[in-house]
Structure 1
Amino acid sequence: MTKKNLVRKLTYLFTAIVVILSFAFIPPKPDEGMYPLSDIRKLNLTEKGLKISVDEIYNPDGVSLVDALVRLGGCTGSFVSAEGLIITNHHCVFGSVQKVSTVENNYLENGFVAYTHEQEIPAEGLTARITVSYEDVSQEVLSAAESVDDISKRSKAIADKISEIVKREEAKDSTIKAEVSEMFVGEQYVLFRYKIINDIRLVYVPPRTIGEFGGESDNWVWPRHTGDFSFVRAYVAPDGSPAKYSEDNVPFKPKKFLKVNAKGIDEEDFVFILGYPGRTFKNMPARFVEYHYKYQLPYVQNLFSWLINLYTKRGENDPEFALNISSTIKGLANTEKNYRGKIQGIRNLDLINKKLEEEKKLLEFINSDPELKQKYGNIIDEIKNFYDDVFKSGRRLLVLNFLRNYVTYYRLADLFVDYKNELFKGESERKSIYKDLNKDKLIAEIETIYKNRRQELEARIFMKIYGDASEFDELKNIEPFATFKELANKEEYVNKIFSETFISDKDKFIGRLFDLDYTVDKSNDELIKIAADLFQLKNEEQKKQQLRDSKLNILLARFNEVKRIWLNKSFIPDANSTLRLTFGYVRGYSPADAIYYSPISSLKGMIEKSFDGDDYKIYEKIKELHSKKDFGKFIHPKLNDVPVAFIYNTDTSGGNSGSPIMDAYGRLVGVNFDRCFEATINDYAWSESYSRSIGVDIRFVLWVVKKIGEADFLLKEMNVNL
């Protein structure tokens, strides 16, 4: 053996030993996952408990359960009849129900049932999206990035190429919506084609005391007794093509609809979920999680908590305001509590340090091999330096975005500054909404903004966001925050700004917006001056962000590449609102020492909670039926009661709301609607010991439809024989 070969063999042996030792220090990886369709066949689901073939779940050459799935707004839904009937969550249609409700005719509080197609009400703003096909376009996307010399333009080159692909695909087929999703940053991009259904109508919505039983007190909590379900129907034009609402439209005929298992599930049964989970971050480095933990999560949680209290108090003696703001409060409250759970989860798991330790072991592995060291030796330091720069910006863009989102007058001031800046450009170079030919659209948008303003709250919300920002290390020395921080009477200053601004007058605002002689520089309006300063800051931060995105595109691709070498396996791409499968078992858990939660709740528990009142206000007929033990065929034999909800150890996230929970035979046994508080951390990490998702039991759904809604026609339509 030559000396060269001996050295090579010893190097390989040393590397193998390091790999083995490295694995010994890796935290155990649970069988987690939100699996893309392309990975389903790798799972050996039969061994896990599936009783049907994988082809029955997903078959690109035929009809399968996937064809019964829809992405419904930001949620998931599934077809449960041949007539386009969709089951989803109550909270997924909450906003649509609120929009068609009035104080006098409050469907949100009282529920809604359409006994005929003619009685169904359009669900304003709700659309359904069906996955038609997908294909990998990574090579085409990344080739555009590789041709760019300036790294700061890399992310824009990728975005432009994605836009080009989308336009090309939609030009080929006007009936589909194309979308290119990033599966792994800087590595994998997949083109999805969707059929869009624009006419969605409300069919059955339970009363709020059922659909939202427990309110925010029980949100992200187990045990749960919430009937979080609703039914809507999809409509299309008579020729089957997508169409906006019309009396001539007909119910959509899905390729596939789910069969209902009215007998439901039991503890330890195998279940699986198909759905459209939102964004997760399991593959991100430690410093990404640290940024969220130190900056984003606590800031958003604090602000949203404050806004919830403000809006709630404002609506206490104003039923119309309370109704109109209800959907906003619900959304804020859901995020606020979710972020509290995430903060607690990251802290309790010591997740940042665990990831740092994992990255330390990864670096040791890299340094053990000369070739790997040469290629990846600086990757951990590069990631650290990258996030050092991110930390310097901190909450800057968050603050600027929240000012626009929650302070109407600031949003208008920002629009004013933006429009005046665009006037310096040629007509063809301006943003679309600011082109002369779109003037009427711009005016209509402005009028809508004024219509939705809450004038009496403007100054208070501005004071909260602006005042908090002036105390942040990353903003307190930047104008105009620096000046504001030193003011003796900040509240008086803010009130004066909002009482004197011309923005309070819609006609004056529109007049000055289109007055070419009235420039930002000539304006003495204090709110316009603030918006001008912050507009410049926003542009600077957005340029930094664009450069960071380009750098991160390269960094994360290399980071994930070497992690695969280290672990000697591929791993699942983070969720990104594309169709995924997750599976598990109906199973209880222990959230804390000496506490164990069983996995199925019942009507008995709902009634026990009802004596606490407030969020636990119960629909009175439920008590009456329970006292008579009028359970019909919807009884759980072991509980001798109607099961309401159950938990299971699947890997779910936001966007999985409304996802069908299916048994081993692919039959509908529940509707996913939440996670336990400990499982809010799922977006960053998953564990069998604490990750539990929550679904409403199909038996409770059917019992409510029959006994409360007296909507037997729905049971018949779903082929539920009783």
Structure 2
Amino acid sequence: MRRLSTIIALFISLSAFADEGMWMLGNLNKQSRQTMKELGLKFPADKIYNPKKTSLTDAVVSFGGFCSGVVVSNDGLVFTNHHCGFSAIQQHSTLQNDYLQDGFVARTHEEELPNPELFVRFLLRTENVTPRVLKAITPGMTEQDRQAITDSIMYAIQDEIYAKDTTLVAVVDPYYGGNEFWLSVYRDYTDVRLVFAPPSSIGKFGWDTDNWVWPRHTGDFSVFRIYAGKDNKPADYSPENVPYHPPYVVPISLAGYKEGTFSMTLGYPGTTERYLSSFGIEEMMNGMNQSMIDVRGVKQAIWKREMERSDAIRIKYASKYDESSNYWKNSTGTNKVIRQQKILERRREMEATLFRWIQDTPAERENLLHLFSSLELNYKARREAGRAMAYFGESFMNGPELVQLALEILNFDYEAEEKMVMSRMKKLLDKYANLDLALDKEVFTAMIKEYRSQVDSLYYPDFYATITDEYNGSDHAFIDSLYAQTKITTPLGLKLFFEQDSTYNIFEDPAISLSIDLLVKMFDIHQVIQEPSTNIERDERLFNAAIRRMYANRNFYPDANSTMRLSFGTVRGYTPFDGAEYDYYTTTRGIIEKAKAHAGDRDFTLEPEVLDFLSSRDYGKYANTDGDMSVCFISNNDITGGNSGSAMFNANGELLGLAFDGNWEAMGSDFIYEPDLQRCIGVDVRYMLFVMEKLGKADHLIKELNLR
């Protein structure tokens, strides 16, 4: 019975359920298409993605390389999440014009705000280039040689595309652990302007408290516009640019949904690890995830305290805090769910079955008999140094902003083309504009203490000895001296650097010197883990391939890797635990109830005008059939980070809303799909339009849309 239960558990964990999978558009097979039809899809499958004809994917964008979005008007309006546009909104905010708190609406094209570092990316086509990439690989080749050869061929393919058309971006990505390779060809538009943002009391309602939690009441959306040259092709920002005219515009459904309504997402999910070994999952738990939990928890507590004391600091640090806390809470939930749902134990059961299959299959036994012992030994060999590397990155490379400034300066390339030089200078100036030195000193001091408490002294950077020998062990004294002596914390110091003043030796600056020491130490730690890491990369690739061979008749999908993917399912509620049942949508009543229940909590504060607006119940054509106003809804679509802003379509290819989050009970979804628990949280497009029209008075934007 034990053997049978193990096999059943393996089948459940690896089978592609009807609503499981982040599917490649260029490799969507008959089985997946048929399943979508059975779930209710009416939109022609060959019109979802077709590189030779206009299709639905022509309106789906990668937004900034970290989120997704969808084009909804003939003049290039793009819907994405509020948290995806948060950095852009923050950059334009001041104490006089606090767009974070008050929201923003451009009444004319001239009022739309440019964002030099923002871009949108359209997928033009994909192509399987596996045979070409792997043609030079021979049996017995070392992993280093294999990597060098595959890399060189991947770069060659990318260069060929660019040589034919310099407006294209070609990227070859590995799939299935490096067993397959696919080319994606994109076109980027770099003139992207902010058009509309709701107040944060709508766009971020619930903040950290509600993040990754259902029921949800967050109006997580913002609106941008793509601009192009007069030929409709990509162009750098210019007042002469005109709105981009897309080949396809997504229509918007006002009909809503009910439980069981077909739902399809198109977007750019970041990374999943559905085929990672149990050794890899355990390492992520104790290394990367735990370091985020520990280090970011300390840093964010300092930031939040000061943000609540000062509006000036709140504006400077809002975007940084938002990005940091999102992954901090994700890591917290992921580690919790891995333990609760016994994901490690379930993965080990699967591995035991795989090991028996290898033993029972002569050809597999000859090549893979030592696969699991090799995985175990190599993960063990890099355990301590790998954990130190994770804490090092969080504490220093991603901790004090002084270090980040120093690294930016060290890596500044004056020989790059003028456009790139100006962009890097702008990025540096933005860092200065959003830096509070007193706050950063406190963070740096806390990072030194936290790293010391978590990591063996073998992995301490050299400045720890300096603190002991020259500052009597006082972290505060060391940091005070560092910030007092460095010149790069001031505009004058930055000016000396930019002008390459001969009186200023940048390498003698204490902040630059310290950052170089950090880079050297990071390199030393990397050297310790280099050999086992190379072996692990090989073994995980072999592990991935073995799973697919053992279940050759399965409909496998590759892990997410920031390329465009489709997921499909239905709108539906769920039961998170015994005695509880969650409905599939929320309404504005819940916003008002939460605001009252959390009175005094800034995460749920509503400005009087917003409260009056929501209480009016003047929902017009955006109301449900019962007169209520839906805010958010859930489906069992398979998503992960990067899917934020992904369009959620109904059976007719019409927009229902935007995906913006997952749920707390399924935080282990990067490793395993739980059909009874995993839910995609979306903001209802009707609520978005209601906020734009009634609160923002943006009728001119509503007129651009194709409402059905």
After TM superposition, the score normalised by the length of structure 2 is 0.89
Unaligned runs of 5+ residues in structure 1 are 1-16, 420-430
Q: Does 1:659 align with 2:659?
A: no
Query: Counterparts of 1:110 and 1:329 in 2: how far apart (Å)?
Result: 19
| Amino acid of the structure 2 residue aligned with 1:601 | T
Which of 430, 436, 456 does residue 454 from structure 1 map onto?
A: 436
Which of 396, 413, 421 does residue 433 from structure 1 map onto?
A: 413
| Amino acid of the structure 1 residue aligned with 2:344 | I
Relative distance call for 1:648 and 1:356 in structure 2 (3 A) is same
Query: Counterparts of 1:448 and 1:714 in 2: how far apart (Å)?
Result: 30
Query: Counterparts of 2:669 and 2:611 in 1: how far apart (Å)?
Result: 36
Query: Counterparts of 2:140 and 2:414 in 1: how far apart (Å)?
Result: 30
Relative distance call for 1:528 and 1:63 in structure 2 (3 A) is closer
Query: Counterparts of 2:308 and 2:615 in 1: how far apart (Å)?
Result: 34
**Partner residue of 1:13?**
none
Unaligned runs of 5+ residues in structure 2 are none
User: Higher mean Cα deviation, 571-580 or 121-130?
Assistant: 121-130
> What SS does structure 2 have at the residue aligned with 1:561?
helix
**Partner residue of 2:42?**
51
CA deviation vs aligned residue, 1:183-239 (integer Å, no higher than 9, x gap): 122211111111111111122211221111122221111111111112211110001
CA deviation vs aligned residue, 1:362-382 (integer Å, no higher than 9, x gap): 101111122221111111111
| Amino acid of the structure 2 residue aligned with 1:396 | A
CA deviation vs aligned residue, 1:683-707 (integer Å, no higher than 9, x gap): 1111111101111112212222222
In the TM superposition, residue 598 of structure 1 has moved relative to its aligned partner by 0.6
Q: Is the 8 A contact 2:26 2:127 kept in 1?
A: no
User: Higher mean Cα deviation, 611-620 or 475-484?
Assistant: 475-484
Which of 364, 389, 413 does residue 397 from structure 1 map onto?
A: 389
> What SS does structure 2 have at the residue aligned with 1:256?
coil
Q: Does 1:37 align with 2:25?
A: yes
Relative distance call for 1:351 and 1:440 in structure 2 (3 A) is closer
In the TM superposition, residue 408 of structure 1 has moved relative to its aligned partner by 3.7
Q: Does 1:480 align with 2:462?
A: yes
In the TM superposition, residue 499 of structure 1 has moved relative to its aligned partner by 5.0
**Partner residue of 1:407?**
400
Relative distance call for 1:384 and 1:128 in structure 2 (3 A) is same
> What SS does structure 2 have at the residue aligned with 1:696?
strand
Query: Counterparts of 1:549 and 1:513 in 2: how far apart (Å)?
Result: 40
Query: Counterparts of 2:342 and 2:415 in 1: how far apart (Å)?
Result: 52
Query: Counterparts of 1:313 and 1:142 in 2: how far apart (Å)?
Result: 53
**Partner residue of 2:592?**
607
Relative distance call for 1:199 and 1:489 in structure 2 (3 A) is same
> What SS does structure 1 have at the residue aligned with 2:256?
coil
Q: Does 1:62 align with 2:53?
A: yes
**Partner residue of 1:14?**
none
CA deviation vs aligned residue, 1:91-116 (integer Å, no higher than 9, x gap): 11111111112111112221122232
Q: Does 1:253 align with 2:238?
A: no
| Amino acid of the structure 1 residue aligned with 2:53 | G
Q: Is the 8 A contact 2:219 2:631 kept in 1?
A: yes
User: Higher mean Cα deviation, 709-718 or 216-225?
Assistant: 709-718
| Amino acid of the structure 1 residue aligned with 2:133 | V
Query: Counterparts of 2:202 and 2:275 in 1: how far apart (Å)?
Result: 38
In the TM superposition, residue 21 of structure 1 has moved relative to its aligned partner by 8.7
Relative distance call for 1:208 and 1:368 in structure 2 (3 A) is same
| Amino acid of the structure 1 residue aligned with 2:103 | G
Q: Is the 8 A contact 1:471 1:485 kept in 2?
A: no
> What SS does structure 1 have at the residue aligned with 2:188?
strand
In the TM superposition, residue 288 of structure 1 has moved relative to its aligned partner by 0.9
Query: Counterparts of 1:35 and 1:266 in 2: how far apart (Å)?
Result: 25
In the TM superposition, residue 257 of structure 1 has moved relative to its aligned partner by 1.0
Which of 506, 510, 523 does residue 539 from structure 1 map onto?
A: 523
| Number of residue equivalences | 688
Query: Counterparts of 2:406 and 2:227 in 1: how far apart (Å)?
Result: 41
Q: Does 1:243 align with 2:231?
A: no
Among all aligned residue pairs of Structure 1 and Structure 2, give the percentage whose two residues are the same amino acid: 30
Query: Counterparts of 2:226 and 2:489 in 1: how far apart (Å)?
Result: 42
| Amino acid of the structure 2 residue aligned with 1:539 | F
| Amino acid of the structure 2 residue aligned with 1:310 | I
In the TM superposition, residue 308 of structure 1 has moved relative to its aligned partner by 1.7
> What SS does structure 2 have at the residue aligned with 1:463?
helix
1:110-121 to 2 correspondence within 5 Å? 110-121=102-113
In the TM superposition, residue 484 of structure 1 has moved relative to its aligned partner by 7.6
After TM superposition, the score normalised by the length of structure 1 is 0.87
| Amino acid of the structure 1 residue aligned with 2:707 | V
In the TM superposition, residue 125 of structure 1 has moved relative to its aligned partner by 2.1
In the TM superposition, residue 628 of structure 1 has moved relative to its aligned partner by 4.6
Q: Is the 8 A contact 2:264 2:650 kept in 1?
A: yes
The structure with more radius of gyration: 1
In the TM superposition, residue 528 of structure 1 has moved relative to its aligned partner by 6.5
Relative distance call for 1:469 and 1:623 in structure 2 (3 A) is closer
Q: Does 1:616 align with 2:626?
A: no
In the TM superposition, residue 489 of structure 1 has moved relative to its aligned partner by 3.7
Which of 574, 580, 584 does residue 589 from structure 1 map onto?
A: 574
**Partner residue of 1:230?**
222
| Amino acid of the structure 2 residue aligned with 1:36 | M
CA deviation vs aligned residue, 1:118-166 (integer Å, no higher than 9, x gap): 2222134221100011112223333466599654454344334333332
In the TM superposition, residue 566 of structure 1 has moved relative to its aligned partner by 1.6
Relative distance call for 1:544 and 1:135 in structure 2 (3 A) is farther
| Amino acid of the structure 1 residue aligned with 2:413 | I
Query: Counterparts of 2:544 and 2:445 in 1: how far apart (Å)?
Result: 43
User: Higher mean Cα deviation, 501-510 or 60-69?
Assistant: 501-510
**Partner residue of 1:558?**
542
In the TM superposition, residue 71 of structure 1 has moved relative to its aligned partner by 0.8
> What SS does structure 1 have at the residue aligned with 2:569?
strand
Q: Does 1:695 align with 2:688?
A: no
1:332-343 to 2 correspondence within 5 Å? 332-343=324-335
Relative distance call for 1:628 and 1:305 in structure 2 (3 A) is same
Relative distance call for 1:494 and 1:157 in structure 2 (3 A) is farther
Q: Does 1:328 align with 2:293?
A: no
**Partner residue of 1:465?**
447
In the TM superposition, residue 393 of structure 1 has moved relative to its aligned partner by 1.3
**Partner residue of 1:567?**
551
Q: Is the 8 A contact 2:467 2:475 kept in 1?
A: no
Query: Counterparts of 2:221 and 2:143 in 1: how far apart (Å)?
Result: 48
Query: Counterparts of 2:434 and 2:146 in 1: how far apart (Å)?
Result: 38
In the TM superposition, residue 623 of structure 1 has moved relative to its aligned partner by 4.3
In the TM superposition, residue 64 of structure 1 has moved relative to its aligned partner by 1.4
